[in-house]
Amino acid sequence: MAVPDLNLLATLDVLLAEGSVAGAARRLRLSPSAMSRALARLREATGDPLLVRAGRGLVPTPRASELRERVRQLVEDAHSVLRPAENPDLRQLVRSFTLRTSEGFVETFGPDLLARLREEAPGVRLRFVQKPNKDSEPLRQGTVDLETGVIGAETGPELRAQALFRDRFIGAVRSGHLLSQGEISPLRYAAGEHIGVSRWGRETGPIDEALKALGLRRAIVTIVGGFSTALALARSSDLIASVPERHTGRLRAGMHSFPLPVHVPEVTISLLWHPRMDADPAHRWLRGCVRDVCAEPSIGLPTGAEASSG
């Protein structure tokens, strides 16, 4: 069976609306002879004359009258499919999104992000899920809509990414800790008892490399899987937690924070998504919300002497 020429639908729509070969030709910017040939093809395709002579004009056949509204709707639907998606009415938008990120990101930026969503799109629900690894499969499979983190070798090369902010590592101790007073030298910092943070249980990292270059080594007495856990331990002990500053702003409230006395490279936190979601208007709006919230320099940063981070 021959595949029908779907371009004929638009021609039929105009012919039925105009009721005239000459009028349809003018509207479609075709010659009358070209439009007559198109009408002949439509008659062959439908097996119906469609428009027949009545005096000096043309009138639709019953079949043409039956098709008029259906053809009109088909053409409108086609135009809708082939035009860029329109921005959604956020007040009426009902949709769920999943953001895979760290606990620190949720606790620091989550309240402001959720407040923004409630204000602009109350029907949108945001589900936060933990990020146990850098595997890009959840984004590829669509089980995750957005992800935050540091781009690494494991990050899928096809993913879209946009930098959100840069973060530096700082030290954090309980209020009244010995390191809450006086200048903190590399030797004084290394002499304390430390909490290591590693999802994979690694005992050393960039901080240890920086200390090693000075001939120093810190004593890591315990290793935990996340920065929030490290801060919870440091808050109720004499242990030292070394954590990213912006990621842990609210978590460090009431603690004493200080710049590390050794140079540790900053990290860039990026927003990641799969390219198939690039043009989705609602997804694009959500990406903008995350970027705006993270762009606020004051979000989540504690204030006061006890929380000074220098």
Bigger pLDDT: 133 or 84? 133
- Out of 262-271, 282-291, 294-303, least confident range: 294-303
Query: How confident is the prediction for the chain on average, in pLDDT?
Result: 88
Q: What is the pLDDT of residue 180?
A: 93
Q: What is the pLDDT of residue 305?
A: 34
Count of beta carbons in the 10 Å neighbourhood of residue 41: 15
pLDDT at 308 over 50: no
Q: What is the pLDDT of residue 298?
A: 46
CA atoms within 13 A on the CB side of 208: 12
Q: Confidence class of residue 114 from pLDDT cuts 50, 70 and 90?
A: very high
Helices (H), 214-301: 227-235, 281-295
pLDDT digit string, tens, across residues 162-219: 999 999 999 999 999 999 999 999 999 999 999 999 877 788 899 999 999 999 999 9
Q: Confidence class of residue 16 from pLDDT cuts 50, 70 and 90?
A: confident
pLDDT digit string, tens, across residues 219-238: 999 999 889 999 999 999 99
Q: Which domains does the chain have, with CATH numbers?
A: 7-82 (1.10.10.10), 95-167+268-295 (3.40.190.10), 169-265 (3.40.190.10)
Average pLDDT over residues 268-284: 92
Cα pseudo-dihedral 69, 72, 73, 76, rounded to 10: -160
Q: What is the pLDDT of residue 2?
A: 64
Please state, in angstroms and rounded to a whole number, the distance separating the CA atoms of residues 112 and 294.
9
pLDDT at 17 over 50: yes
Q: Confidence class of residue 84 from pLDDT cuts 50, 70 and 90?
A: low
Average pLDDT over residues 11-28: 88
Q: What is the pLDDT of residue 126?
A: 96
CA atoms within 13 A on the CB side of 54: 10
Please state, in angstroms and rounded to a whole number, the distance separating the CA atoms of residues 104 and 106.
5
